[in-house]
């Protein structure tokens, strides 16, 4: 049983990290990653959390600067001065509607502090069964065969290609012809409609691991119908907002695989519940990525060490996006990433990196 510690202060930081490769969004190309990061100081320890929200509200309604404001003005004040376990955070913040990524950052920080106080690792707490996990890389719509070759040469154990109408079969077929045995999957980010079912069925001949989120996130019936028309397993990402949502999607036949992003479901504890629901139903899961710094990247690796994560996720080393990470770099070892074994999430931000990349700091006491 974990002790209950009093939360004495919460620091909310905005940071900007330069990217080593441009990230394409609906509004153009970004060359930096804006982040909201929290530090929770308890009566026993400190803990760190990272908000998964991107720089602009295009993936979900949350975005990094908005999350930082919400954390400082509405979420942190509800925790400071309370006796709180990580498992209590969701209930304590329930009066604020929505904003799962911002809430997840606070839960992560409280969980980190709680586990550090007892010397227990996040991997052990969540139920990890392995000490390393296979890496995976996600390549954008602008990806070329040379980009795939670079990823293969680097040792990635799985490649994901973004697809969209007009940019799908040709590139995927070319990759498959050059690398017949490569574990390969595609991600549509909801870009298709059920009218594209016959077109998407042409992917069946290419031996893909899965098609991720082919239809809009609110179209479970459409996904269920599409699943009857294609052989390639459908994985839902944006549609999965909780363990209950995962159970509903599975029951309706809308997916054969589930993508778990801790920020999207409200935190690592709910992510474990999603994992458990899927595992009970015999549905494999894998861990999605959100251009995380080393803080959330380390926590994601711990999550991906649970037994239901049988498909390589979007788990890459720090160097995939950052020449200079917030933490000591997370590195690739023969295509795998080592599961952190130290207390809490197993990593802390480097003071010099915090000083270099912090653009604002608010402390709630």
Summarised one tens digit per residue, pLDDT across range 50-95 is: 999 999 998 899 999 999 999 999 999 999 999 889 999 999 999 9
On whether the CB atoms of residues 268 and 108 are closer than 8 A, the answer is yes
User: Rounded distance, CA 252 to CA 258, Å?
Assistant: 13
Mean pLDDT of 21-29: 68
Residue 322, burial from CB neighbour count under 10 angstroms (0-12, 13-18, 19+): buried
Helices (H) and strands (E) in the chain, counts: 14, 14
Q: Parse the chain into domains and list their residue ranges.
A: 5-118+349-364, 124-338
On whether the CB atoms of residues 267 and 247 are closer than 8 A, the answer is no
pLDDT band per the 50, 70, 90 thresholds, residue 5: confident
Nearest to 268 by CA among 297, 298, 299: 299
CATH T-level topology, domain 5-118+349-364: Enolase-like; domain 1 (3.30.390)
List the CATH code of the domain at 124-338. Answer: 3.20.20.120
The residues carrying an active-site annotation are 162, 261
Q: What is the pLDDT of residues 329-359, one digit of tens each?
A: 999 999 999 999 999 999 999 999 999 999 9
Structure tokens at 292: 């995380």
Residues 6+ apart with CB under 8 A from 275: 260, 285, 303, 306, 308, 309
Placement of tokens 């308890």 in the chain: 42
Q: Which residue has the higher pLDDT, 93 or 4?
A: 93
pLDDT at 1: 45
SS3 annotation, 290-301: CCCCHHHHHHHH
**Residues 219/220/225/227 CA torsion (nearest 10 deg):** 120
pLDDT for 27 beyond 80? no
User: Rounded distance, CA 233 to CA 154, Å?
Assistant: 27
pLDDT at 25: 60
The number of CA neighbours under 13 Å toward the Cβ of 12 is: 25
Q: What is the pLDDT of residues 225-280, one digit of tens each?
A: 999 999 999 999 999 999 999 999 999 999 999 999 999 999 999 999 999 999 99
Residues 6+ apart with CB under 8 A from 145: 174, 175, 178
Entry pTM: 0.96
CB neighbours of residue 130 within 10 Å:
14
Helix pair 294-303, 268-280: axis angle to 10 deg: 30
Mean pLDDT of 117-135: 98
Q: What are phi and psi of 84, to 5 degrees?
A: -135, 130
pLDDT at 83: 85
Q: What are phi and psi of 353, to 5 degrees?
A: -70, -40
User: What mean pLDDT value characterizes the chain?
Assistant: 96
Placement of tokens 């065969």 in the chain: 145
pLDDT at 30: 78
pLDDT for 147 beyond 50? yes
pLDDT for 28 beyond 80? no
Q: How would you classify the pairing of strands 211-212 and 184-187? A: parallel
Q: What is the pLDDT of residues 163-173, one digit of tens each?
A: 999 999 999 99
pLDDT for 15 beyond 90? yes
Q: What is the pLDDT of residues 208-229, one digit of tens each?
A: 999 999 999 999 999 999 999 9
Mean pLDDT of 178-196: 98
Handedness of CA 223, 228, 229, 233 (dihedral sign): positive
Q: Residue 217 CA to chain centroid, in angstroms?
A: 17
């Amino acid at each position: 049983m974990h002790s209950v510690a009093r939360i004495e202060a919460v620091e909310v930081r905005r940071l900007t990290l330069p990217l080593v490769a441009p990230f394409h969004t609906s509004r153009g190309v970004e060359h930096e990653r804006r982040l909201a990061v929290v530090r929770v100081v308890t009566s026993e320890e400190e803990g760190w959390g990272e908000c998964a929200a991107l720089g602009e509200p295009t993936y979900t309604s949350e975005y990094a600067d908005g999350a930082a404001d919400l954390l400082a003005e509405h979420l942190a004040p509800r925790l400071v001065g309370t006796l709180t376990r990580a498992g209590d955070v969701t209930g304590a913040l329930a009066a604020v509607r929505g904003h799962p990524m911002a809430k997840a950052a606070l839960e992560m920080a409280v969980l980190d502090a709680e586990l550090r106080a007892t010397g227990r690792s996040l991997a052990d707490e969540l139920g990890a069964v392995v000490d390393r996990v296979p890496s995976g890389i996600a390549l954008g719509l602008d990806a070329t065969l040379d980009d795939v070759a670079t990823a293969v040469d680097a040792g990635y154990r799985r490649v994901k290609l973004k697809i969209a109408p007009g940019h799908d079969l040709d590139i995927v077929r070319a990759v498959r012809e050059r690398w017949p045995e490569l574990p390969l999957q595609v991600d549509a980010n909801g870009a298709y409609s059920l009218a594209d079912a016959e077109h998407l069925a042409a992917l069946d001949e290419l031996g893909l691991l899965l098609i991720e989120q082919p239809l809009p996130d609110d179209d479970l019936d459409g996904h269920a119908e599409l699943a009857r028309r294609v052989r390639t397993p459908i994985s839902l990402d944006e549609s999965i907002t909780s363990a209950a949502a995962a159970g509903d999607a599975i029951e309706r036949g809308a997916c054969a695989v589930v993508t778990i992003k801790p920020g999207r479901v409200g935190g690592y504890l709910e992510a474990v519940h999603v994992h458990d629901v899927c595992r009970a139903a015999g549905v494999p899961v894998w861990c999605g990525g959100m251009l995380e710094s080393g803080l959330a990247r380390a926590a994601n690796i711990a999550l991906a060490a649970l037994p239901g994560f049988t498909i390589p996720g979007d788990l890459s080393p720090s160097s995939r996006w950052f020449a200079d990470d917030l933490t000591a770099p997370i590195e690739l070892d023969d295509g795998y990433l080592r599961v952190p074994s130290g207390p809490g999430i197993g990593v802390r931000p480097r003071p010099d990196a915090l000083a270099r990349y912090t653009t604002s700091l608010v402390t709630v006491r």
